[in-house]
Each structure stands twice: as C-alpha cells, then as structure tokens.
Amino acid sequence: MPAPPFRTRLCLSGLVVAILATVAAARPALAFEAFERDEITVAEATKIVRGREDWEICLPDLTTLSPEVATALAKGSGYYRLSLPSLATLTPETAASLACSAGDLDLPAVTVLLPATATALAAHRGTLELGGIIELDLDAAAALAEHAGQLCLPGLVVLDPAVADRLCRHSRHLALSGVTSLSPEAARAIVRHRGESLVFGGIASLPSEVATELEPHEGCLMLPRLAGLSVETASRLAEHRGPLSLDGFRELSSEVAAALASHRGMLTLGGGSILPADVAAALAAHAGTLSLPAVNLLTPEAALALAPHRGVLCLPSVSTLSTETAEALALHQGSLVLSGLVTLEPAAARALSGHGGDIDLFKLTQTPRLDSADVAGLLADKTPLLSLPNVNRMDGEESIAVARALAGGGGSVSIPNLRVASPLTVAALLANGNVSLPPIQAIEFIAEPVADSSAARP
C-alpha cells in the first residue's frame, strides 16, 4: 500500500503535549503516559498501536526497546510510520523485530550500525531512514544494499568510493541527501545503481568531470539543491540515460536550457515562477516529458515558444490561463498537464479545447460549481473517466447547457454527490447514457433555470 500523501505526527513532546493536554482525559491513561517514558511494555506498545489516530507513531523519549516490544510496535494493522528519535542503541534482534513493520521506519538517533543489525534491517520493505549514520562500515553498507524498500541516509556527508560500490547494489529509491560533494571515483561507483531513483539532496554545485561520470546512470537522477550549472556541466548531464530532475534552480539561462534540452528522457527543471520566452524556446527542442513545476504564470509569448515541444508538457503550478495563452498552448502536439488550473474563462476553455492531445485538468475537476458549458465541454472532451465529486448543485443559468456538454463528451462522467438540479438538467445529463448520478430520489428537483428554460423546451 503506498504511503499517504501527507503525514502528521502523533508525537507527544514539547508544545504538542501542551496542545493535547486538554484531550488527555479522553485518551486511555496507559497509552498517554507511555508516550513520555524511556521504556514501555508489550501491553503498552500494543495499546499505542491499536489506539493510534494518525499515520505516524512517534515515541520521542523511548531509549530502550526490547525485541518483544519492537514486535508489538511493528506488527499493527494498516500502514503507519514508526519514529523513534531517541533510540540510539539497536541490537540485531530488535532490528529484526522492527523489520516486520509494513510501514516506514525512522531511526535518527542510531549512529553506529553493526553489519548484523544492518542485515536484520534489510528485511524491512518500507522506507528506512537512518539519519544519524555519518559513516558506514563496508559490510554494513553491503547489507543495507539488500534492503527491499526505499533507503534514506541523510546523515552520510562523505560518500567513500568503496561504500558507494556497496550501496550501488540497492534496487529501489536511494536518497543520500547529506552528501554535499562527489568525487569522480565515488560517482563512477554509485552510477551502477539500478534502482528507481538516486537522490543527492545536498549537492549545490557539480563539476563537469563528476557529471560525466554520472552519464551512464539509468534510473532517475535527482539533484534538488543544484543552484546553478555551467553550459559544459549541463551538456554532460543531458547525456544521462534516465529521468533527470534539477528543480532547485532559481534562474535558468537560455544557454543552459538549450544544453539540457538535448536530454532524451523525462526532464524536470526549476527556475523562476515566470518562464522567459527565450528559455521556453530553448526547452521546446526537448524530446520527451518536460516538467516545469516552478512556473505559475505563463505568458502568451512563452506558451507560443513552448508550442513546438513534442512530448508530455507538465505545467502543474499554473493556476489560470489567459485566452491568448490558451490559444498558444493549443498548438502544442502532445499531452498537457495543467493539473493546478483552478480558474478558466469560457473563451480560454474554448481555445484549449482545440488542443489535439490529452490534458490533465485535475483541480478543475474538483470544482464545487460548474457554471460554464465551455469549461464542462473541455473537461468532458479531455478527461475519458471524468469524476466531479464536489459538484452537488447544478442550478446556474447555464446548467442545461453544462449538462449537455458533459453528456456529449463521449467519455464516462460521474457526479456522485449531485443533490440539487432541475428536471431538464437531469434529463440532459442522462440523455446519452454515459453520465452516472445518484439515485433520482436523492436529487431535489428545482425550477428550470431562467436563461435555459426556453431553449431547453422541445
């Protein structure tokens, strides 16, 4: 089961204790007190797990953990993150018990990892975060490489080539966010990593010779803090074989953009919130998925410059489009991701409907009101399985026209929470058999909308 998109902590320390003091009486005394102790029993651990109210259990003061208590904490039902920020000593037996957890494990206080302990943790299948490890024994590194889940070692500041040679055998997501620089030798070793992704979250600059060594890497290479690039380094990174994510840029020059555009995989780039037209024109030469998550304002000039791009174009932070910008984007040949679009004028919707590919319009599908037939038509045309979960009233002046647009899109449409509509609006929705509604008796019928009533009569 995938991790929940948002996690909040069940961590009773400091200010959190004060905030939750008012509800302490409602919580069983045994579980409440156990959060504040350095050691707990199996019964207490079981009660904590069964009584959890969040996606994470954090025991901030726990310093001693037996294998039996670890088993009780790890084997609760469902997915949850187990954080033990004060547990500094971890025996192989206790590690083996924690490894039974189906969720994430966060052990930031563990600073020494014996090979036997690392071998025990390798059986864990969730995300394993060991933030206190600043050095790794070669045998421990080899054992951790067998870990079947995501592995995060944010405390590791220096990546020794020999350690990199062991860690490269890891087959999933590997995050080394504490590493601030890479030697060519370490890069040459870690590049053999064949997992889903490799993250260096602490590297702010990258010499071209190191970028050259990273070229053969086939997974997703993520450098989220890289603040700038020379054209030479950008040219080397563009030869990287897998997806490339460089979303830490504040600014992106057209020269660096042109160098990166020769990359042939998925390319994610940072930059300013406004995309300059010359940078857009350089990036348009990229063949593949291009994601620009920092852009939240797209001018008509930049949209027109991006139009020649061939592939998936992702602009997830753009919240609105002018008609001129929509007309320019409609020239793009490939799929569009405009998942952050929350407002769209009818004229812009009509222009965007002329786009020949799929368009992701997720936030527009979450609207509580759909009062424009043009926007409804765009959603129905571009979303094969359209769900409008927040629409519970269709009582606007254009409601019948909106209903016809939804029913005429050709794909399936679901409005599961519709509660108020006119009879002709409901009839228009059901006319083609592709719109799913709640039972008719659950819908309150109202008078026909004034603007549509005469046009809607047979």
The domain segmentation of the chain, as residue ranges, is 10-110, 376-458
Residue with tokens 């990174």: 237
Strand partners, 152: 129, 175
Q: How far apart are CA 330 and CA 325, in angstroms?
A: 9
CB 157 within 8 A of CB 182: no
N-terminal to C-terminal alpha carbon distance within the chain: 52
The per-residue pLDDT for 35 is 60
The per-residue pLDDT for 156 is 93
The per-residue pLDDT for 37 is 74
Tokens at residue 285, please?
Answer: 């030469």
The per-residue pLDDT for 25 is 35
CA R_g for the chain: 27
Q: What is the pLDDT along the chain (458 residues), one digit of tens a residue?
A: 344 332 223 332 332 323 233 333 333 334 444 566 788 899 999 999 888 878 899 999 999 999 999 999 998 888 899 999 999 999 999 999 999 998 999 999 999 999 999 999 999 999 999 999 999 999 999 999 999 899 999 999 999 999 999 999 999 999 999 999 999 999 999 999 988 899 999 999 999 999 999 999 989 999 999 988 899 999 999 999 889 999 888 889 999 999 999 998 899 998 889 999 999 999 999 999 999 999 999 999 999 999 999 999 999 999 999 999 999 999 999 999 999 999 999 999 999 999 999 999 999 999 999 999 999 999 999 998 999 999 999 999 999 999 999 999 879 999 999 999 999 999 999 999 999 999 999 999 999 987 654 443 33
The per-residue pLDDT for 193 is 92
Distances (CA, A) of 420 to 19, 41, 288, 374, 446: 41, 55, 44, 21, 7
Tokens at residue 385, please?
Answer: 């399985």
The per-residue pLDDT for 451 is 60
Residue with tokens 């952050």: 340
Q: How far apart are CA 434 and CA 425, in angstroms?
A: 15
CB 385 within 8 A of CB 409: no
CB 319 within 8 A of CB 344: no
How many distinct helices (H) and strands (E) make up the chain? 21, 21
Q: How far apart are CA 393 and CA 384, in angstroms?
A: 22
The per-residue pLDDT for 12 is 29
**DSSP structural state of residue 297:** B
The per-residue pLDDT for 53 is 78
CB 233 within 8 A of CB 206: yes
Query: What stretch of H or E contains 98?
Result: helix 92-98
The per-residue pLDDT for 75 is 87
- For the entire predicted model, the pTM comes to 0.83
